Structure 1
């Protein structure tokens, strides 16, 4: 059974759509997270994934981020991540995701 993650969207004053995900992003829910993100990227010009409340990300979760980044890039749109902390931030940096993604400390940096 797939573990569900909480997701919430907020339109920021500067034109970005903040998409907040809470919980784990792993093999059990990666496709569901991707499909939600795909819909957002399709309709928004600038999307930021707020990862402040993400407690864990697996390699399946990293693939989700890369797929969303590539989709946005192909469509001439922007996709960033913000707020990653602790182990999640370490995983993103250790996997060199910052070479692809714009990684912000907080939504205020956009």
Structure 2
């Protein structure tokens, strides 16, 4: 599992690659919260290279979204593959979190 990041104006784009599950969710959450602690307020999670996400991974994204909202920011997801999108749909998380098809749309939502 790797978490690549890049800045696009005032938005931090995070690109997880691999899988987010109970064995690595705590470390990923710590990395993401460290970014918020450093002052990041707008984040796009580009999930195009995410192969699998478990309930532990969903929890990380929910905690991140809540923290960003508390800080006056926002989280937008993009690039969900069909299998990852299905997990979000079944869990009801697409009703809670904002998701777009492309990174460009996600960045536009945060502009």
Note whether the superposition's TM-score is higher than 0.5: yes
Aligned: 1:34 with 2:29: yes
Match of 1:85 in 2: 81
TM-score (norm 2): 0.88
- For each residue in 1:49-107, what CA deviation from the matched residue of structure 2 results, as whole angstroms up to 9, or x when unmatched? 11110000001011111110111111111111111112111101111112221101111
In 2, Cα distance between equivalents of 1:100 and 1:75: 18
Unaligned runs of 5+ in 2: none
**Which residue does 1:54 correspond to in 2?**
50
Q: Which runs of 5+ in 1 are unaligned?
A: none
Query: Runs ≥4 in structure 1, deviation > 2 angstroms?
Result: none
CA distance in 2, matches of 1:99, 1:39: 26
Is the 8 Å Cα contact of residues 40 and 47 (structure 1) preserved in structure 2? no
- Could you say which structure has the higher helix fraction? 2
Q: CA RMSD in A?
A: 1.1
- Alpha-carbon contact 1:41-1:47 (below 8 Å) kept: no
Matched, 1:103 2:102: no
3-state DSSP class of the match of 2:6? Answer: strand
CA distance 1:81–1:41, change in 2 (3 Å): farther
- Number of equivalent positions: 105
Structure 1 residue matching 2:27: 3-state secondary structure: helix
TM-score (norm 1): 0.89
